[in-house]
Homo-oligomer: A and B are copies of this chain.
C-alpha cells in the first residue's frame, strides 16, 4: 500500500506541528501544503522543526493549485475557529473527493451552533464519498470525549463537572494578545462587550457532544467570561501581566440536559498559574453510580494535544463511512506509533 498522503492547509503553529509529527511517523507523508501570501513558492521545511534531509521538497502553493482530486488521501485544514468560516474550504476539499479533518473548534460538533451548515457538509461528504471531522484537544477530547469515556463505566449520571485549568505560558504573542494578557479590567470588559476577547471557543460544542453521546439533548445553555486579575507581576516567555491587570480569562458555562442533568464547564486560562499557587490540570468530576473523581495534572498542553489528535485521527477518518463525523461516531483516539498503513482499510485508501 502507498504511504498515507496528506495535504496540510494552513502552515501556522498547528499545521507546522502536524507536519513535524507526520515527518517523524511511518507510512505517512506530507505531499502538499496550501497557504497564502508570501509563503507561496517557499519550502515547507522553512516553517517546520524537522530537517529536510534527503526528503523531496514540498513547495507551498495556493489552495486551488494543491487541492485536487486524487492528490492525497486527506487534507488537514488548520485555518479557522468557526464553522461559517471553515465551511467553504471544507466544501472545496470534499468536492475534490478528499477526506478532511479540521481544527475549527465549532466543527467539533457543528450541529450545536450551525445545524444547517452541518447538514449541508454531511450531504456534500456523502455525495463525494468522503468523510469530514472536526477535532482537537478541546473541544474534541479533554472536556467532552474524556468525560463521555468515563461515563461508560457508570450505570447512572446525575451531574457533570468538566474542568480544565491550563497555562497559557507556552503560547506566542498572538495568543497573548487574543486572550488580553496584561490589559486592564476596563479594557477586558470593553472587549468582552464588543466580542473581541477570544476566550475559549467550544463549550456549546462540548456540551452538545456530551448530550448526544448519552442519547439526550441540551435543554439550557449559557456561558460567560471573566478576567483573571493578578495580584503579582507575572511574566511568561511571550506575555507580561503587571499586578492589577489581566493574567488570563476564566471561561465558564452552565447547562442542563434534557433529563435535567446539570453540566458545569470551568476553564480558567492564564499565564504562569504556578506563580500564584494554582495547580494546572484536567478534571472530570461526575456524580453518578459510581462517582468519578479524575485528575490529570499538569494539564495536557493545548498545542501538542491538538496536533496529536488531528494526526492520530487520520486512519479513523479515512476508514469511516462517508459523511460528517464527530468524535462520538468514530473509534477511540489513540497514538499511532506503528506504520499508519497498518490501520487503513485497503478499500478506503484514495491513493492505492
Expressed in whole angstroms, the Cα–Cα distance for A328 and B312 within the complex equals 14
Query: Given A149-B146, A292-B296, A296-B292, are A335 and B304 also a contact pair (CB < 8 Å)?
Result: no
Question: Does A327 interact with chain B (Cβ within 8 Å)?
Answer: yes
Stretch of A64-72, A88-96, A154-162 contacting B (4+ beta carbons < 8 Å): A154-162
A 287-302 contacts with B by CB, 8 A: 288-290, 292-298, 300-301
On chain B, the residues within 8 Å of A148 by CB distance are: 332-334
Establish whether residues A336 and B214, one from each chain, have CB atoms under 8 Å apart when the complex forms.
Answer: yes
Given contacts A292-B296, A294-B296, A300-B292, contact A335 B154 (CB under 8 A): yes
CA distance A257 to B21 in the complex (A): 21
**Among A124-132, A177-185, A226-234, A337-345, the stretch in contact with B:** A337-345
Cα A90 to Cα B295 in complex, Å, equals 38
Within 8 A of B (CB), among A127-146: 137, 141-142, 145-146
A308 touches B154 (CB 8 A): yes
Q: B331 contacts A331, CB within 8 Å? A: yes
Which of B152, B295, B342 contacts A332 (CB under 8 A)? B152
Contact partners of A304 in chain B: CB under 8 A: 153-155, 289-290
Contact residues in B for A335 (Cβ distance below 8 Å): 151-152, 154-157, 214, 288
Please, which residue of chain B has its CB at the minimum distance from the CB of A136? B153
The reply on A213 being an interface residue by CB < 8 A is yes
Query: Which B residue's beta carbon lies closest to that of A209?
Result: B334
Contact check, A149 vs B216: say whether CB atoms are below 8 A apart.
Answer: no
A297 to chain B: which residues have CB within 8 Å? 293
Inter-chain contacts of A151 with B (CB < 8 A):
312, 333-335
Bound CA span A225–B192, Å: 59
Copies in the complex: 2
Residue of B nearest to A325 (CB): B331
Contact between chains at A300 and B153 (CB < 8 Å):
yes
Distance of A1 from chain B, by nearest CB (Å): 13
Q: Does A197 contact B (CB under 8 A)?
A: no
> A153 and B142 in contact (CB under 8 A), knowing A293-B296, A328-B331, A335-B288?
yes
Q: Is the CB of B338 within 8 A of A216?
A: yes
Q: Roughly how many angstroms separate A214 CA and B312 CA in the complex, as a whole number?
A: 9
Of all chain B residues, the one with the shortest Cβ separation from A315 is: B215
A64: shortest Cβ distance to chain B, in Å?
A: 30
Interface residue ranges, A against B (CB under 8 Å): 17, 21, 24, 137, 141-142, 145-146, 148-157, 213-216, 257-259, 261, 284, 288-290, 292-298, 300-301, 304-305, 307-309, 311-313, 327-340, 342-343
Given contacts A153-B333, A257-B337, A289-B304, 20 further A-B contacts (CB under 8 A): A17-B155, A21-B155, A141-B152, A145-B149, A148-B333, A148-B334, A150-B296, A152-B334, A153-B305, A153-B309, A154-B304, A155-B304, A155-B308, A214-B336, A215-B336, A258-B338, A290-B300, A293-B297, A294-B294, A294-B295
